[in-house]
């Protein structure tokens, strides 16, 4: 994508958005300031039985920001959040931003080793959590282990009755309640925050090794929000008129940017839910008349398999979105038949906050399609060789991207940062191709690619074919050692309720006309459940680690 020529996707899809509109920049506090100034009485959040207007939400943010400053938090400090979906999350996120400090996102699903690693890397001055059983005990262990100097606890009961009984907050010199902090006098003025300031340390899952902390600035996040707002193809999302279901975890970049920050900026109502429950989501759509539902494929599969889904009234939905992982083509086709509308898809990743590509509404769907770059973003396909030569349409290579949303690098890891940048382009690690219309396809992750008998085999292609089997609910394909081929594909399958297992030979017969001989799986294993991340993404790396352990045990025994 060099030179001054207009990118082909702008020529082929001119209607998708205003391609020439400038990408606005700014800071995270400014995202909230806009709806507070314009519509302070509009409803910002619904959580359990609690509702907050934009004016009320902004007041709580100011109180907590003042409390954090009084507690010693300074511009440039880091504040870690170990929170579920609760109103404490957006309050703490925006309060930290107003202090000029940096948010460090942690996941409650992280193993103790992962939490320790993230805190050692990020070195936060405060850890914010809530007093639910899945959070407070872990946070206290981190405090007692010396991994954070002070713990701040938001009491869950402030927002109404939870399904889980909260725990008492212990009396401890290094533990404080957020409500107590919010009684402090506000500062005479707020710290000055600029678009270049570091706003977020967001850890990437990765496929191997320990997570790395991606450094995202205020400008990166605001640019991503404005990039999403410019895309208007077939959605007609009038600002201030939307009800958005938020069951995606807010500590994940997908929910943070595309749900929280984007819809705060638009002054919409966020129906915040602590966890995904298919009955609750369907009630939000039918009864609360939700207009936007961003999910991940596993959530949409649960909706698709819900008894009586064919009788659900989905007419309020203006935008149905699937992200976080590829949507199996067969699943999407069935789902759109029930919804009566397109399920919008695309692609992104933590390092790009996560704005990357969207599928235009008039593009013909096909497996692996991620669409065209969003406005303000440029993408291309490059070779895997050190020279990183540009590839023409149709050639498979690595997707490279540049834009105002691209992160600044990995914290304290100049070598790792240098490895993923080449000539100003971020090398995503995703293998893909671009067609003659400027539409991009994801083939697989570079690290997931299986080399079998000298052929490149892509697990996503095999998974898409297996998803067409009528008995399969979920599938993950990984590469395993094979004495003859070097590597071979193994499929892990979760069956639909009431379906009987099938043999590998029966599966191969089913796949005969769907895959090439070199792509055929050579092993099959059924599981009652498959590992997934907090965002609902199926985790191949867990299964890879299990297979590596099995192989190591065999090698030792031999």
How far CA 302 is from CA of 278, 299, 309, in Å, comes to 7, 5, 10
pLDDT tens digits, one per residue of 321-369: 998 776 777 788 889 999 998 899 899 999 999 999 999 999 998 888 9
Backbone angles phi, psi at 437, to 5 degrees: -95, 0
Highest mean pLDDT among 214-218, 457-461, 464-468, 542-546: 214-218
d(C-alpha 464, C-alpha 443), whole Å: 11
d(C-alpha 445, C-alpha 437), whole Å: 23
Backbone angles phi, psi at 218, to 5 degrees: -55, -45
pLDDT at 484 over 70: no
Question: What is the assigned CATH class of domain 54-203?
Answer: alpha beta
For residues 139-144, average pLDDT: 96
The answer to whether 343 and 336 have CB atoms below 8 angstroms apart is: yes
Among the ranges given (23-37, 386-400, 510-524), the one the predictor scored with the smallest mean pLDDT: 510-524
Q: To the nearest whole number, what is the mean pLDDT of the chain?
A: 92
449-557: CATH architecture: 2-Layer Sandwich (3.30)
pLDDT tens digits, one per residue of 177-226: 999 999 999 999 999 999 999 999 999 854 335 689 999 999 999 999 99
The answer to whether 129 and 83 have CB atoms below 8 angstroms apart is: yes
Share of the chain above pLDDT 70, in %: 96
For residues 400-410, average pLDDT: 97
Identify which has the larger pLDDT, 558 or 25: 25
pLDDT at 2 over 50: no
**Domain map (residue ranges) of the chain:** 54-203, 449-557
Share of the chain above pLDDT 90, in %: 75
d(C-alpha 239, C-alpha 432), whole Å: 34
Per-residue pLDDT band for 538 (boundaries 50, 70, 90) equals confident
d(C-alpha 224, C-alpha 218), whole Å: 10
- For the whole model, what pTM was predicted? 0.83
Would you say the C-alpha torsion 224, 230, 232, 235 has a positive or negative sign?
positive
For position 533, what pLDDT does the model report?
A: 79
Closest CA to 102 of 82, 130, 122, 72: 122
Indicate the pairing of strand 397-402 with strand 425-434: antiparallel
Is there a shared CATH topology between the 54-203 domain and the 449-557 domain? no
For position 208, what pLDDT does the model report?
A: 38
């Amino acid at each position: 994508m060099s030179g001054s020529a207009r990118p082909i996707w702008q020529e082929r899809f001119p209607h998708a958005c205003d391609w020439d509109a400038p990408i606005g920049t700014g800071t995270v506090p400014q995202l909230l300031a806009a709806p507070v100034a314009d519509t302070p009485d509009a409803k910002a959040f619904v959580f359990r039985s609690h509702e907050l207007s934009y004016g009320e939400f902004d007041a709580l943010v100011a109180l907590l920001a003042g409390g954090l400053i009084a507690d010693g938090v300074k511009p440039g400090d880091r504040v870690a959040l170990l929170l579920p979906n609760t109103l404490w999350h957006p309050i703490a996120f925006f309060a930290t931003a107003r202090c000029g400090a940096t948010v460090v996102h942690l996941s409650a699903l992280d193993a103790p080793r992962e939490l320790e690693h993230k805190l050692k890397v990020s070195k936060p001055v405060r850890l914010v959590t809530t007093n639910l059983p899945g959070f407070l005990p872990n946070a206290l262990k981190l405090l007692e282990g010396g991994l954070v100097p002070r713990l701040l606890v938001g009491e869950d009961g402030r927002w109404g009755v939870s399904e889980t009984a909260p725990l008492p907050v212990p009396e401890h010199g290094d533990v404080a309640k957020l409500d107590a902090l919010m009684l402090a006098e506000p500062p005479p003025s707020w710290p000055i925050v600029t678009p270049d300031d570091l706003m977020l340390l967001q850890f990437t899952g990765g496929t191997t090794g320990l997570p790395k902390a991606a450094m995202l600035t205020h400008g990166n996040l605001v640019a991503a929000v404005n990039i999403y707002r410019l895309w208007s193809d077939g959605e007609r999302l009038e600002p201030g008129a939307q009800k958005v279901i938020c069951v995606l975890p807010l500590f994940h970049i997908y929910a943070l940017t595309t749900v929280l920050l984007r819809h705060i900026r638009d002054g919409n109502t966020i129906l915040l839910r602590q966890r995904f429950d298919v009955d609750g989501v369907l009630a939000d759509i039918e009864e609360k008349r939700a207009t936007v539902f961003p999910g991940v494929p596993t959530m949409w599969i649960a909706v698709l398999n819900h008894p009586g889904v064919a009788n659900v009234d989905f007419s309020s939905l203006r935008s149905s979105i699937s992200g976080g992982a590829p949507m199996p083509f067969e699943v999407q086709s069935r789902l759109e038949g029930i919804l009566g509308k397109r399920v919008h898809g695309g692609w992104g990743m933590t390092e790009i906050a996560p704005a990357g590509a969207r599928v235009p509404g008039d593009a013909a769907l096909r497996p692996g399609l991620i669409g065209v770059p969003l406005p303000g973003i440029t993408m291309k396909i490059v070779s895997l060789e050190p020279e990183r030569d540009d590839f023409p349409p149709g050639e498979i290579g690595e997707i490279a991207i540049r834009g105002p949303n691209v992160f600044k690098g990995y914290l304290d890891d100049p070598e790792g940062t240098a490895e993923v940048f080449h000539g100003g382009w971020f090398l995503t690690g995703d293998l893909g191709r671009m067609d003659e219309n400027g539409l991009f396809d994801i083939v697989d992750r570079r690290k997931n690619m299986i080399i079998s008998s000298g052929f490149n085999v892509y697990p996503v292609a095999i998974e898409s074919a297996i998803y067409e089997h009528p008995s399969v609910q979920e599938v993950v394909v990984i590469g395993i050692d094979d004495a003859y081929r070097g590597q071979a594909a193994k499929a892990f399958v979760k069956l639909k309720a009431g379906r009987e297992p099938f043999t590998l030979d029966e599966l191969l017969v089913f796949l005969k006309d769907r895959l090439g001989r070199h792509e055929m799986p050579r092993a099959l294993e059924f599981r009652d459940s498959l590992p997934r991340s907090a965002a609902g993404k199926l985790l191949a790396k867990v299964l890879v680690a299990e297979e590596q352990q099995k192989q190591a045990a065999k090698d030792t025994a031999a």
